[in-house]
Amino acid sequence: MDKNCKFKNKYGQWALVTGASSGIGAAIAYQLAEKGFNIILCARNQKKLDKMARKIVFQYPVSTEVITKDLSVLEQVHQLCEEVKSFELGLVVLNAGFGTSGDYINSDLDTELNMLSLNCISVAALAHYFGRRFAEQGRGGLIMLSSIVAFQGTPGAANYAASKAYVQNLSEGLYHELKPFNVDVLSAAPGPVETGFAARANMQMEGQSPSIVARDILSSLGKRNTTFPGRVSKMLIFGLRSVPRWGKVLIMKKVIRSMTEHRQKAA
């Protein structure tokens, strides 16, 4: 049996990817289709998802389903759970998320709270639903998108870093809680990745390729609890490993400042 076949047989027939319309989520969705999974693609932009679904079924012998939801709205998160009930789901990638940047007290509070709804509340609700469901069926895989900023306070992206610390901590706990039920939980904590993320967060950064990051994430599932996908992510974490937490905060302050310099220049 080849590697792809083994991977699919371990988890099941269908995979759900949230935030599948671009960036890391899109790359993961394509790679799961390559492994033979039928894919449920979820995000807000129906046009983009329909186009992706057509591309996937053209390239791979799998089925797709598009479910359009704004996952920052809890009611729509519950609707998603309801709509995937009848699918033989084995793998869920909780990837939908966005970031903000700038001094927190000068930020738009509605946007910051909306970010918490998407990055934390939707993840809490979906991990609860799928964690239970996978435990009952005695197998499954849950991948959650954290970040390297999850491991210390990050001036200039304080609320975003806090939201990813939540995801990181939740996944570390769930890893052990769900292990006895044959459910693999993985936290993926990338450094900068070339996606739509920077534009939405009003940052400028050179990132790693989403397809390399996606490959690293998928190959880590079932092997460890946390992965730092991509060479740059590993180098950044390795470089910071002996720095005390307060020192990491100061380094992150500089990193984020360099990513938002264009705004100071424009002002």
Ligand X SMILES: NC(=O)c1ccc[n+]([C@@H]2O[C@H](COP(=O)([O-])OP(=O)(O)OC[C@H]3O[C@@H](n4cnc5c(N)ncnc54)[C@H](OP(=O)(O)O)[C@@H]3O)[C@@H](O)[C@H]2O)c1
- Show the tokens assigned to 62: 């799998």
- Minimum separation from the CB atom of position 100 to ligand X (A): 11
Using the rule CB under 6 A, is 12 a contact of ligand X? no
Q: Which of residues 174-193 bind ligand X (CB under 6 A)?
A: 190, 192-193
Round to whole Å and give the CA distance between 228 and 244. 19
Query: How many CA atoms are closer than 13 Å to the CA of 26, on its beta-carbon side?
Result: 18
45 or 204, CB closer to ligand X?
Answer: 45
Work out which of 11, 12, 25, 52 binds ligand X, going by CB under 6 A.
25
90 or 230, CB closer to ligand X?
Answer: 230
Beta strands in the chain (DSSP E): 14-18, 38-43, 64-68, 89-94, 140-145, 183-188, 226-227
- Minimum separation from the CB atom of position 253 to ligand X (A): 17
Stretch that binds ligand X, among 58-66, 96-104, 132-140, 220-228 (CB under 6 A): 96-104
8 or 52, CB closer to ligand X?
Answer: 52
Kindly state the number of chain residues that form the binding site for ligand X, as judged by CB under 6 A.
31
Other Cβ atoms closer than 10 A to 178:
21
Q: Is 89 helix (H, G, I), strand (E, B) or coil?
A: strand
- Show the tokens assigned to 170: 């939740």
38 or 227, CB closer to ligand X?
Answer: 227
The pattern of x and - marking residues 128 through 157 that bind ligand X according to CB under 6 A reads: -----------------x-x----------
Cβ–Cβ < 8 Å for 52, 29: yes
- Minimum separation from the CB atom of position 251 to ligand X (A): 16
Stretch that binds ligand X, among 23-31, 78-86, 133-141, 169-177 (CB under 6 A): 23-31
Any idea what the Cα angle at residue 34 is, between residues 72 and 19, rounded to 5°? 10
182 or 258, CB closer to ligand X?
Answer: 258
Exposed/middle/buried for residue 251 (C-beta within 10 Å: 0-12, 13-18, 19+) = middle
Determine if residue 209 is left, alpha or beta; phi over 0 gives left, psi from -120 to 50 gives alpha, anything else beta. Answer: beta
Other Cβ atoms closer than 10 A to 200:
14
Round to whole Å and give the CA distance between 203 and 260. 5
Stretch that binds ligand X, among 31-39, 90-98, 171-179, 241-249 (CB under 6 A): 90-98
Using the rule CB under 6 A, is 98 a contact of ligand X? yes
25 or 156, CB closer to ligand X?
Answer: 25
Stretch that binds ligand X, among 4-12, 43-51, 84-92, 242-250 (CB under 6 A): 43-51
Q: How far is CA 188 from CA 19, 103, 104, in A?
A: 15, 26, 25
Q: DSSP state, 121?
A: I
Which amino acid is located at 33 in the chain? Answer: A
Work out which of 24, 28, 52, 178 binds ligand X, going by CB under 6 A.
24
Residues that bind ligand X (CB under 6 A): 19-25, 43-45, 48, 69-72, 95-99, 118, 145, 147, 190, 192-193, 195-197, 200, 207
